[in-house]
Structure formats: structure tokens, C-alpha cells
């Protein structure tokens, strides 16, 4: 039976963001790379390679039925857990910036938390599509999934990787809620979860300073507020049309590693409000198409997987932009497709391949029950 074509606007948004990311990684990193490794093309070459591999895998995955891929999700989940355990072991995991999050493979590094994001979305969608009716019950339905997410968070906190733990928890909550979990149950566990988060923040002087610095970053411009202050300088100096591509001043070691989490500041400085709004518009386009795909998926598993993949991009992009504009406390969350990072780019593109496959998996000769209707039934507690 003939399948639909790819969702054009989703594909367009992904390729546009990837292309913008490659250009901006080079622009933001050229001076830093020349200063640190004596090769201004260092980060550009790696971003190009990972983007190329990721795009190839995206198109390969987009032609594999997502239902078949979902069958592998328990294995992927197990592999991801094993890798998170291994990376936390001294001598195996590689340390950078006081965190043990990477495997050093010699020619490159690999961050298992990026694989975990995708694995958890696929596993939860696969499992909940069969067992969503049990979510009406707290201990026998919701708690087992919370324990899985909690165990993953525990492994991430060992690295430590707090931002990824927050992200994975938020995405899992979206999937669980859409699958039928009750709001009352979320409220019941929300209090203890917030208390635990507050303890983690307050128990570390470094985390506490970063948490409160967004309230007034200029009160400590050379300390906890340093990144945010220079980010705001970059954004403000960009004005409407920006300084021009490649003409950022803040990338000259004022913003540490400008190709990473604070790359949106460089976008705003060089391309101005117009460039920054264009990037945001592409993310909004991607999110809109992702939600639409979820609502029109042929089955509940496809709907949950699509909303999980879409919420992953949505939460990461919203949090990153909120951080660089001093709207929320600083956290190390990259901007999808734009920030430098090979493993992140690879698995984001693979995730978009799955989303593209869901978008084209409805057949013209069938009239399947729409995913939106299935999710509505789950919310109402129907089996």
C-alpha cells in the first residue's frame, strides 16, 4: 500500500536548523578553536561530519516502520542503562568540567545520555501503548514507570548531569500524562520532587549561586553571573539586524565556549532580532508539525512517540533560550541542531527520522483511528 510522502514542513525545519547550526558553530567557534587547538576549523569539521552522518541515518530511519523500531526499545533501554553505569566509573568515563559524561573513543567522544533520551521515549511509548489503562492506578500503574525514570535520573546525577535529568523527567511526564496518568497523581508526587530538587540546589554553594544569579546577574558579573551578563551584552548589541555574520565581539573569549550552550547569544549578536526570530520560527514550525503528526498518527504508540520526540525538542529549545536571556537560572542544556555536539546532533536527527516515519505511515486506503482520539480516550480512562 502506498504511503504518504514525508511531512515537508518538518523536513524543511530540520534541515534549515541543521544548516543554520553548522554556519553558526563555525562563526561562534572559529576564534576559540584557533586559540585553544590552533585550528579555526576544528569544531566546524566535526559538526559537518556528525551532521552528515545524522542526516543519512535520519533518512534511513525514516524508511523503517517505527513499529519495528519500537520492538528494539527494551534492548536500547538496557544498553543505555549499562552505558550510563559504565560512564560513571573512574577510568572508563572521561571527565570534563568536573563531570564524567563521555566515553573518549580517541577520534571522538560519545555521550550516552543522548542515547538515553531517545531510548526512554521509545520504551515508554512502546510499553504505555499496551498498558495505558493501568495508569489509572497509582501504585500498580504509574509507580513502576516513575521508578524507571527515577533510576535513570539517579544514574545521570552520578555524572553529574542535572539538566539532562530534568529534561528526561519532563519529557517522561508529558508522555505519561498523554497516555492517561491522572493529574492528581502528579500533584501527589510533585511536592516531594520539588523538595528534592530544592535540596540539591541549596546543598551546593555553586549550584545555589547559579540558581539565584539570574535574578540579578550584574550583582556578580565576574562570578556566577559572568555567562549571563556577557550573553545579555551580545543579545543587546545585535539590535534588529545584528553586527553581521562572523562579526561577534562576545565570542572572543568573553562567553566561554560560545559554540555550546550560549550559541543563541551569538546568533542574536551577529544576525540581530531578525536572525534570532528566524531560528525561533523554525523551532515553532518543527513543534507545530510534531504535534500535528502526533494527533494524526495511526496508533497510540505512534502518537506517544511523536509527542515525546516533539516535547524533547520543545523543552530543550525553550530552556536554552530562556537561560541565555536570563529568564531562568543557568543550566547546561544545548540548543537542538544549533549548539555544537556530535552525539546530540546524531540522536536528534535519528529522532526526527522516526518522527518523519510516523508522519508517512498512514496509508491512503485505510482510515485509522487518529492518535488524537486514542489519546483522548486514554485521558478519559477508556481501555
CA proximity to 99, closest of 154, 158, 162, 159:
159
Residue 280 domain flag = yes
Which grid cell is 154?
539517579
pLDDT at 365: 40
Residue 248 domain flag = yes
- Cα 358 from Cα 366, distance rounded (Å): 15
Contact residues for 356 (Cβ-Cβ < 8 A; gap 6+): 6, 7, 10, 11, 58, 61, 62
Q: Which residues of the chain have pLDDT under 70?
A: 1-3, 362-372, 374, 377-383
Phi, psi of 104 (to 5 degrees): -90, 110
**Domain membership of residue 238 as a residue range:** 8-379
Residue 3 domain flag = no
pLDDT at 332: 82
**Count of domains in the chain?**
1
Is the CA virtual torsion 227, 277, 328, 287 positive or negative?
A: negative
Helices (H), the chain: 8-37, 42-61, 66-71, 73-87, 112-131, 143-158, 162-179, 183-202, 205-213, 226-238, 263-295, 300-324, 342-359, 371-379
pLDDT at 97: 80
Helix, coil or strand: residue 70 = helix
Residue 168 domain flag = yes
Cα separation values, 374 from 122, 132, 213, 370, Å: 18, 11, 44, 7
pLDDT at 364: 38
Long-range pairs, 251-256, Cβ under 8 A, ≥24 = 251/27, 251/28, 251/29, 251/31, 251/32, 252/31, 253/31, 253/32, 253/35, 254/230, 255/227, 255/230, 255/231, 256/227
Cell numbers 521508578 correspond to what residue? 147
Q: Is the pTM of this model over 0.85?
A: yes
CA proximity to 310, closest of 343, 373, 354, 275:
354
CA proximity to 308, closest of 292, 296, 290, 331:
290
pLDDT at 261: 93
Residue 2 domain flag = no
Residue 236 domain flag = yes
pLDDT at 255: 92
Helix, coil or strand: residue 217 = helix
- Cα 347 from Cα 49, distance rounded (Å): 14
pLDDT at 381: 63
pLDDT at 370: 63
- Cα 377 from Cα 370, distance rounded (Å): 11
CB distance 116 to 86 below 8 Å:
no
Amino acid at each position: 500500500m502506498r504511503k504518504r510522502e514525508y511531512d515537508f514542513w518538518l523536513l524543511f525545519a530540520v534541515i534549515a536548523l541543521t544548516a543554520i547550526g553548522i554556519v553558526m558553530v563555525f562563526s561562534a567557534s572559529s576564534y576559540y578553536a584557533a586559540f585553544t587547538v590552533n585550528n579555526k576549523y576544528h569544531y566546524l569539521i566535526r559538526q559537518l561530519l556528525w551532521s552528515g552522518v545524522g542526516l543519512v541515518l535520519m533518512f534511513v530511519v525514516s524508511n523503517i516502520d517505527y513499529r519495528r523500531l519500537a520492538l528494539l526499545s527494551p534492548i536500547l533501554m538496557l544498553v543505555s542503562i549499562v552505558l550510563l553505569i559504565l560512564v560513571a566509573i573512574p577510568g572508563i568515563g572521561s571527565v570534563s568540567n568536573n563531570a564524567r559524561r563521555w566515553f573518549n573513543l580517541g577520534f571522538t567522544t560519545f555521550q550516552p545520555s543522548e542515547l538515553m533520551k531517545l531510548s526512554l521515549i521509545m520504551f515508554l511509548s512502546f510499553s504505555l501503548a499496551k498498558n495505558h489503562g493501568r495508569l489509572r492506578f497509582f501504585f500498580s500503574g504509574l509507580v513502576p514507570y516513575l521508578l524507571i525514570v527515577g533510576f535513570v535520573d539517579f544514574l545521570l546525577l552520578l555524572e553529574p548531569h542535572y539538566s539532562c535529568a530534568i529534561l528526561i523527567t519532563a519529557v517522561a511526564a508529558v508522555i505519561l500524562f498523554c497516555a492517561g496518568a491522572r493529574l492528581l497523581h502528579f500533584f501527589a508526587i510533585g511536592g516531594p520532587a520539588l523538595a528534592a530538587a530544592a535540596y540539591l540546589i541549596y546543598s551546593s554553594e555553586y549550584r545555589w549561586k547559579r540558581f539565584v544569579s539570574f535574578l540579578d546577574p550584574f550583582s556578580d558579573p565576574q562570578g556566577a553571573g559572568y555567562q549571563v551578563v556577557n550573553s545579555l551584552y551580545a543579545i543587546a548589541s545585535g539590535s534588529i539586524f545584528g553586527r553581521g555574520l562572523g562579526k561577534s565581539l562576545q565570542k572572543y573569549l568573553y562567553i566561554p565556549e560560545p559554540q555550546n550552550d550560549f550559541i543563541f547569544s551569538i546568533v542574536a549578536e551577529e544576525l540581530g532580532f531578525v536572525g534570532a526570530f528566524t531560528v525561533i520560527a523554525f523551532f515553532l514550525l518543527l513543534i507545530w508539525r510534531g504535534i500535528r503528526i502526533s494527533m494524526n498518527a495511526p496508533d497510540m504508540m505512534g502518537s506517544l512517540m511523536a509527542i515525546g520526540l516533539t516535547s524533547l525538542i520543545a523543552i530543550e529549545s525553550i530552556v536554552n533560550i530562556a537561560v541565555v536571556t536570563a529568564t531562568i537560572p543557568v543550566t547546561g542544556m544545548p540548543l537542538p541542531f544549533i549548539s555544537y555536539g556530535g552525539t546530540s546532533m546524531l540522536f536528534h536527527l535519528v529522532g526526527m527520522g522516526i518522527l518523519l516515519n510516523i508522519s508517512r505511515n498512514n496509508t491512503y486506503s485505510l482510515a485509522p483511528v487518529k492518535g488524537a482520539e486514542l489519546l483522548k480516550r486514554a485521558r478519559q480512562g477508556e481501555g
